[in-house]
């Protein structure tokens, strides 16, 4: 429940990155030793992954509120796919990790947010290039290999998931794997750094060519997850949208450049420090054009949040989705709040209105849900958001963090 109209003030500290941790926990399967992973966010996707690893026989425990100790030495090859895997998209990383460790993997077709068709042909192309046979039906994917041999893989589409999965499968393969046209997102660099900290040899992550030289084994160690670019961006946009003044802390400003640039264009004031950014939004905000793109472009995972802001910014905005086929489902919810938005294919034309009005709305997916929170914060009256389990998949204590900034927001336990 959000009562709108409060400007956000104060400081907020950003948690560890969801899209990094959902790759790093499965990556621990490859490690013949103990992994200590720090700065782990307490989100639903992490709990699901922990349960999946425990089902396979791993020992996983929090040693403090954000440090996870993972020991996968005892997991067995005969894992049976289960319903838990269907709960999250990132369960497909188990394919690359299990294939890398056991030369065999069986995983239930991933669930997660639905933005139209979500193919995994590029993941499969990579596994096959490494020497695996892959079989799939509507429910399960099975991959197996006599041996995995390093090779060159050119991705036809810049895919975060395929880049990560091929890295996972290649780390313990024989010889050198080169991934060309790789994705460059901060969480890809984070996974590479984690693997290298465990004894892998991965070079070039963060560029579009990644070179993985296979090693015999990974032997454990400690690693701290990077701050969440999208959580940070969500607070930055919320600060600007409400006309507030917020210091967003524990971030890597370099990762925020595309978001900062758009907020400046909208009319917010951005001040960058070493590991924090201040956002001030007290002037009039005006419409802008945005196209979402792979990193370092403006992130698709920040699209609903900025559309919520633009719905009351002065003038016309054009937001074009450049990654997913169908990521505007949440717009219907904004219309109920009085927004004037027309979606045509992959573009949304937004005519800024004077104000939004609180209404009952639904979180259609994780980031759509974050967009609803921002819309609720700027709306007149009360917004009731249902299906918040989507938001909990990826944001740690979202309502507590907003409340600490002065928002009138609370969780209703039904
Ligand atoms: C990751 O999804 C993120 N999820 C998504 O974040 C994010 O929106 C997306 O990357 C893009 O940044 C996780 O990290 C768990 P992709 P992923 O493979 O890896 C097409 C969030 O809200 N494609 O980079 O599944 C695909 O259809 C979530 O945190 C193929 O055609 O995305 C899409 O159009 C939602 N074939 C495009 O590539 C493939 O084999 C990019 O997808 C793979 C992808």
Is the bond preceding 58 in cis, omega lying within 30 degrees of 0? no
**Does the C-beta of 119 come closer than 6 Å to ligand 1?**
yes
Question: Does domain 2-14+227-409 bear CATH number 3.40.50.300?
Answer: no
Give the DSSP H or E segment for 159.
none
What are the angstrom distances between the C-alpha of 7 and each of 85, 246, 265, 316, 402? 40, 10, 20, 24, 11
Residue 383: its pLDDT value, please? 98
* Cα dist from 406 to 186, 220, 370, whole Å: 30, 42, 17
Q: Is 90 in the pocket of ligand 1 (CB under 6 A)?
A: yes
pLDDT value of position 80: 62
pLDDT score recorded for residue 276: 98
- 8 Å CB contact between 337 and 383: yes
pLDDT by position in tens, the chain (length 414):
999 999 999 999 999 999 999 999 999 999 999 999 999 999 999 999 999 999 899 999 999 999 999 999 999 865 666 777 766 666 889 999 999 999 999 888 765 556 556 788 999 999 999 999 999 877 788 999 999 999 999 999 999 999 999 999 999 999 999 999 999 999 999 999 999 999 999 999 999 999 999 999 999 999 999 999 999 999 999 999 999 999 999 999 999 999 999 999 999 999 999 999 999 998 899 999 999 999 999 999 999 999 999 999 999 999 999 999 889 999 999 999 999 999 999 999 999 999 999 999 999 999 999 999 999 999 999 999 999 999 999 999 999 999 999 999 999 975
Centre of ligand 1 from the C-alpha of residue 221, in Å: 29
72: annotated active-site residue: no
CA pair distance 114, 324, nearest whole angstrom: 10
Task: Determine if ligand 1 sits within 6 Å of the CB of residue 89.
Answer: yes
- Tell me if 23 CB under 6 Å of ligand 1: no
**Which residue has a Cα nearest atom 30 of ligand 1?**
119
Q: Which of 23, 85, 113, 172 is catalytic?
A: 113
**CB under 8 Å to 87, separation ≥6 — which residues?**
48, 111
Indicate if ligand 1 lies below 6 Å from the C-beta of 43. no
Rounded CA separation 48/243 (Å): 37
Q: How far apart are CA 273 and CA 254, in angstroms?
A: 11
- Angle made by CA atoms 145, 200, 174, in degrees to the nearest 5: 35
Q: Which among 293, 323, 372 is the best mutation to test ligand 1's pocket, defined by most ligand atoms within 8 Å of the CB?
A: 323
Query: Domain 18-224 is classified in which CATH homologous superfamily?
Result: Enolpyruvate transferase domain (3.65.10.10)
For ligand 1, atom 6, which residue shows the shortest CA distance? 301
Angle at 109 between CA 108 and CA 115, to 5 degrees: 150
Residue to mutate (ligand 1; options 161, 300, 328; most atoms within 8 A of CB): 161
Ligand 1 center from residue 169 Cα (angstroms): 18
Task: For residue 64, give both structure tokens.
Answer: 């403090």
Sequence ranges of the chain with CATH classification 3.65.10.10: 2-14+227-409, 18-224
Distance CA 241, CA 312 (A): 9
Which residue has the CA at smallest separation from atom 13 of ligand 1?
19
Report the nearest atom of ligand 1 relative to the CA of 18. 29
Does ligand 1 lie within 6 Å of residue 367's CB atom? yes
Residue partners of 121: CB distance under 8 A and separation at least 6: none
For 345-392, give the DSSP string.
Answer: TTEEEEE--S--B--EEE--SHHHHHHHHHHHHHSBSEEEEE-THHHH
């Amino acid at each position: 429940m959000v009562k709108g109209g409060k400007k956000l003030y104060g400081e907020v500290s950003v948690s560890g990155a969801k899209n990094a941790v959902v790759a790093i926990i499965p990556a621990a399967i490859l490690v013949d030793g103990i992994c200590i992973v720090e700065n782990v966010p307490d989100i639903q996707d992490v709990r699901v992954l922990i349960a999946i690893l425990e089902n396979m026989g791993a020992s996983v425990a929090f040693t403090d509120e954000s440090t996870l100790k993972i020991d996968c030495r005892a997991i067995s090859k005969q894992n049976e796919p289960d319903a838990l895997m269907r709960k999250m998209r990132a369960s497909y990383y188990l394919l690359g990790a299990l294939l890398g460790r056991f030369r065999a993997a069986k995983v239930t077709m991933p669930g997660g947010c639905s933005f139209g068709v979500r193919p995994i042909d590029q993941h499969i192309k990579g596994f096959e290039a490494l020497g695996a046979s892959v079989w799939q039906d509507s429910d399960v994917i099975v991959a197996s290999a006599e041996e995995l041999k390093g090779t060159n893989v050119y991705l036809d589409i810049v895919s975060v998931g395929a880049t990560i999965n091929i890295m996972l499968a290649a780390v313990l393969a024989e010889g050198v794997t080169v991934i060309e046209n790789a994705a460059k997102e901060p969480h890809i660099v984070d996974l590479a750094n984690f693997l290298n900290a465990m004894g892998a040899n991965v070079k070039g992550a963060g560029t579009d060519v990644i070179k993985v030289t296979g090693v015999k084994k990974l032997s454990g160690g400690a690693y701290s997850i990077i701050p969440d670019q999208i959580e940070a961006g969500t607070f930055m946009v919320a600060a600007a949208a409400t006309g507030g003044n917020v210091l967003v802390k524990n971030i890597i400003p370099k990762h925020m450049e595309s978001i900062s640039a758009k907020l400046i264009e909208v009319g917010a004031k951005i001040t960058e420090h070493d590991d924090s950014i201040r956002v001030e939004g007290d002037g009039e905000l005006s419409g802008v054009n945005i196209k979402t793109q792979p990193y370092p472009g403006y992130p698709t995972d920040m699209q609903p949040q900025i559309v919520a802001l633009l719905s009351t910014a002065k003038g016309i905005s054009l937001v074009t989705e450049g990654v997913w086929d169908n990521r505007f489902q949440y717009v219907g919810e904004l219309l109920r709040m009085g927004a004037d938005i027309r979606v045509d294919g992959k573009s949304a034309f937004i005519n800024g209105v004077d104000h939004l009005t609180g209404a009952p709305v639904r979180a259609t997916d994780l980031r759509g849900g974050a967009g609803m929170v921002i819309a609720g914060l700027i709306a007149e009256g009360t917004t009731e958001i249902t299906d918040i389990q989507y938001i909990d998949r990826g944001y740690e204590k979202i309502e507590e963090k907003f409340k600490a900034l002065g928002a009138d927001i609370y969780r209703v336990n039904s």
